Amino acid sequence: MDRTDTSNKGISIQVSLSGFSFNGSPWLTPERVFTIPEFQRRYDHVEISLLTPKVALVPDAFLDSASARKALSEVASLRESDFVETVPVPGLAATLVFSNSLDESLSKVVAQTVLPTSGTPARVLPELYYLLCRLDSLPDYNKIVASWHGGYLHLAIAQGKSLCLANVFEAPDFTTAEYFLFLSLKRLQLNPEVSTVCFRTPLDPDAEMSLYRYFKSVVQL
């Protein structure tokens, strides 16, 4: 698998209910947070994402502060106690509405442990936000960015400057994740044989080889 260069001035950390990964590392168990050498220093830039399925992308023209919770409740199961947040997505004239209320505390621990040079903890944002932010940096016309872990496939697809899909699918195994990936491409009439698929989450060798059977290339972001 191709891997993009990672600057030592920044760190990207992904958190799920069962563990975490940083800069493309294998998934690690929560107790490793305090023993990772890379977590003991500060960085110019810190990204922390939570693989939450409670997300909805809403055009800015249809969103206000009073409607955010309602918009999210239409696509995700929310409890009364769930805290709903928003974050604008650069270049899309849209806002991601999300909830990090997953009965986990690991993302908060990571945010307090791995600090930017400013000393202010980085905001924990949904994984889908970072998928959407990476689309513009991809050189191909067909842009496919995905993450899979913890029973969900997070997927963003664009053609040129046009966003075609941004969604989270329930996928308890990688075979199911592939099903939703190829179903999405079929509905958008995109040919995987001439496309590159990019993953932000680490893939095991079997999953990587399975993707290589269908795609022109597989890239780890």
pLDDT digits 0-9 by tens, 64-73: 878 899 999 9
Does residue 29 sit in the same domain as residue 87?
no
**Whether residue 34 sits in one domain with residue 10:** yes
Residue 20 to residue 123: CA distance in whole angstroms: 16
Instruction: Tell whether 187 and 79 lie within a shared domain.
Output: no
Residue 211: exposed, middle, or buried by beta-carbon count in 10 A (0-12, 13-18, 19+)? buried
The pLDDT of residue 30 is: 95
The 10s digit of each residue's pLDDT in 39-54 is 999 999 999 999 999 9
Sheet holding 10-15, edge to edge: 20-22, 10-15, 45-50, 124-126
Query: Are 141 and 101 within 8 A, CB to CB?
Result: no
**Which of 99, 127, 160 is the last residue before a domain boundary?**
99
In Å, what is the CA distance from 10 to each residue of 30, 97, 120?
Answer: 21, 26, 15
Task: Calculate what percentage of the chain has a pLDDT beyond 70.
Answer: 96
Shared domain for 151 and 138, answered yes or no, is yes
Residues 150 and 84 in one domain: no
Angle between helix 205-212 and helix 174-187 axes, rounded to 10 deg: 30
- Of 99, 127, 157, which residue is a domain's last? 99
State how beta strands 84-89 and 94-99 pair. Answer: antiparallel
Q: By the 8 A CB rule, do 167 and 140 touch?
A: no
- Kindly report the pTM of this predicted structure: 0.92
State the virtual CA torsion across 75, 76, 81, 83 in degrees, nearest 10: -70
Task: Quote the CA–CA distance of 118 and 97 in Å, as a whole number.
Answer: 27
Do residues 112 and 209 share a domain? yes
Placement of tokens 């990571």 in the chain: 110
- Are 20 and 110 within 8 A, CB to CB? yes
Which band of pLDDT confidence, cut at 50, 70 and 90, is reported for residue 7? Answer: very low
The domain tally of the chain equals: 2
Tokens of 76: 């995700």
What is the DSSP-derived secondary structure letter of residue 200?
A: S
Per-residue pLDDT, averaged over 68-96, amounts to: 94
Residue 62's domain comprises 55-99
Nearest to 46 by CA among 1, 113, 95, 101: 113
Distance CA 17, CA 34 (A): 17
Contact 155, 163 (CB under 8 A): no
